[in-house]
Chains A and B, each alone.
Chain A
Amino acid sequence: MTRAKVRLVAASAFALAAGLLVHAEDYKCTQEAGCTAQINEDGELEEVTFRKGDLVSTEDGWVVSQDDGWVKVKKKPGGGS
């Protein structure tokens, strides 16, 4: 691989990591009956139940729905809000 390609791959990886950081968000479960979130575990999408008050960050791949009681509380540093 040429030096230029190595630089391109490194830059792409850096941009991807930066993008993930920018888009990581925290959500809080606000439903008395709890909320569900999904995560990819060993290649399978798993649904997990949370209690009211629990916080989940999307940085580890959690997928949440605001229709299911999740409320965005604050973006991670770099996210702006």
Chain B
Amino acid sequence: MRVRTGAAGAGARAWTAVGAALVAGALFLLPIGIGLVSPRSRQVVEPPGAPVTPELEPPPSRLATPRPAHAAADGPARATTARASAETVEPAGGAGSAPPATPAHGPALARLELHVLGAAAPASIELLHEPADGGPARRSLHASDAGGRLALALAPGSARAVAWSDAATAPPGLAELSAGATTVLELALAPALPVLGRVLDAESGAPVAGARVAFWTFAEADEVVSGPDGTFRHPRFPAAAPAQQIAARAQGFGTTVRVLRLAPDGAWKLAARHAGEASLRGRGTPWIELELVREQRLRGRVVDAGGAPLAGVRVAVEGFQRAMTAVASPDAATTTSAADGGFELGGLRSDLGHALTLAAPGLAGEPLELPPATGLVELGTLVLRPATFLTGVVLDADGLPRAGAEVVLRPMRPLPTPAGPLDAGARAQSRERRATTCVAGTFLFEDLLPAPAWLVVETEAGERAETTLVPGPDGIYDTPCLALGPAALAQRGP
């Protein structure tokens, strides 16, 4: 059985929501003409660490030498900040075999011309493209021609591009892409700094071969692979950026994230992750050890209230590991249930707590708090029930509707208890839902679990209003009216 995605059910909910909003508007003599609500919570969110389809792999590192007795300052001289600039020009002929900005069929595309300055050979380019139509953002890996040029036809939106060659990196360039127009983005290569290290099994201390290591806050696809003795050499720490997250991943293990700083004077620091850990410091070429913990795998099956299997349900699991004392990085995975409702997720850290959520149009389920565990965890059968919605109105101090206000809905569940020194215990926070009020001051949340919740709206002017919500026996919330007032006078919630 498939998830109920029929237009009838969704339409009924939408009409009920609009009706409730109309009643709220009439009660407060609101102007007629309710517009569309644009809840941000409905936007498609790509999971962190979304897979990249590489078209060009950098050569893997194979270091035969063990850990050096002391680091040597053998890196190239630090360069000044690389230059990246963007300009928009009219559609025109361009580099090489660039596709046209406006194809014969289909919607008009934007043309992005990338110029990698200082490239003596084809350079690698990682592109993150975010379409303006709200579609999911995608990463892709490309190679420039020998002159450092690459042209792409893309849907209008925004793009972030970084480039690298053997021992040089270009700082990220950002561009806005307009239909039918050509945008030129220059990426200037500058000498990068090498980083040496070793990947180890945190439990046994044994070296981990085949681990992928990347400075993923710079370029996720610029990975090197650890050798049989677990050592690696990444030649491209971007010299223009003082700090990057370094991530290590391997089959059968969870992802480890650390923050590495390289100061202009040659000093480096691998930041401590929690109060009980010391930062690792040195000078010259960094030598760092990255410990991987064994993975946790989750397996389960999703059914509806009648016990029928549900296919196509989005299954998301999320935890947070500390990358620094005040920085948490998501440890997450997503999948979709199969025809029999079954799903399996892997690659999660076994030393963190995680929250598992199920999402399908018109259905909702209680998030599942999962304690740390190693290996395969059988979750059994998980039930989704009919979801509810919430609509309400935000008024200013004069009783007039407030448009453009951001409303936050937060479940009134207790925060999870951190499971260990690296567990940030922040997973409940990420379940906030946000919506923006339309011109009539109304807002709408859909696909909610009927459960007590807390609703708050804050404005940049310091106004604030909040309320707690408890659904009735039928799962329907009363329509809240949030009257903005000075923040100091507002009641404080959880």
Decide if A and B are genuine partners: yes
Contact A73 B326 (CB under 8 A): no
Contact A53 B456 (CB under 8 A): no
Contact B48 A73 (CB under 8 A): no
Given known A33-B172, A74-B429, contact A51–B320 (CB-CB < 8 A): no
Contact A49 B218 (CB under 8 A): yes
Contact A57 B326 (CB under 8 A): yes
Contact A81 B456 (CB under 8 A): yes
Q: Interface with A: B85-93, B237-245, B287-295, B468-476, which one?
A: B237-245
* B466 cross-chain contacts in A, Cβ below 8 A: 81
B481 within 8 A of A: no
Contact B327 A32 (CB under 8 A): no
Complex: how many Å from CA A48 to CA B128? 19
Q: How far does the Cβ of A63 sit from chain B's closest Cβ, in whole Å?
A: 12
Residue of A26, A46, A57 near B261 (CB, 8 A) is: A46
B330 within 8 A of A: yes
Contact B128 A32 (CB under 8 A): yes
Residue of B137, B242, B328, B429 near A54 (CB, 8 A) is: B328
B435 within 8 A of A: no
Per-residue B-contact encoding for A2-46, CB less than 8 Å = 1, 0 else:
000000000000000000000000101000111000000110001
* A33 cross-chain contacts in B, Cβ below 8 A: 128, 130, 158, 160, 172, 174
Complex: how many Å from CA A59 to CA B160? 30
Q: How far does the Cβ of B138 sit from chain A's closest Cβ, in whole Å?
A: 9
Complex: how many Å from CA A26 to CA B426? 9
* B130 cross-chain contacts in A, Cβ below 8 A: 32-33
Question: What residue of chain A has the Cβ atom nearest to residue B43's Cβ?
Answer: A30
Contact B48 A53 (CB under 8 A): yes
Complex: how many Å from CA A28 to CA B45? 14
Q: How far does the Cβ of B132 sit from chain A's closest Cβ, in whole Å?
A: 12
Q: How far does the Cβ of A71 sit from chain B's closest Cβ, in whole Å?
A: 8
Complex: how many Å from CA A51 to CA B259? 12
Question: What residue of chain B has the Cβ atom nearest to residue A55's Cβ?
Answer: B328
Contact A56 B326 (CB under 8 A): yes
Q: How far does the Cβ of B84 sit from chain A's closest Cβ, in whole Å?
A: 13
Given known A33-B158, A34-B217, contact A55–B261 (CB-CB < 8 A): no
* B430 cross-chain contacts in A, Cβ below 8 A: 28, 53, 73
Given known A28-B430, A46-B242, contact A54–B329 (CB-CB < 8 A): yes
Contact B242 A47 (CB under 8 A): yes
Question: What residue of chain A has the Cβ atom nearest to residue B406's Cβ?
Answer: A71
* B299 cross-chain contacts in A, Cβ below 8 A: none
Per-residue A-contact encoding for B323-356, CB less than 8 Å = 1, 0 else:
1111111101000000000000000000000000
B378 within 8 A of A: no
Complex: how many Å from CA A33 to CA B173? 10
Contact B218 A55 (CB under 8 A): no
Complex: how many Å from CA A56 to CA B259? 13
Which 6 A-B residue pairings sit nearest by Cβ, starting from the closest? A60-B326, A33-B160, A80-B492, A32-B137, A55-B328, A53-B330
30 contacts between A and B (CB under 8 A): A32-B128, A32-B130, A32-B137, A33-B130, A33-B174, A34-B160, A34-B217, A46-B243, A47-B242, A50-B245, A51-B216, A51-B217, A51-B329, A53-B330, A54-B323, A54-B327, A54-B328, A55-B320, A55-B329, A55-B424, A55-B426, A56-B328, A60-B326, A71-B434, A73-B430, A73-B432, A74-B429, A80-B492, A80-B493, A81-B492
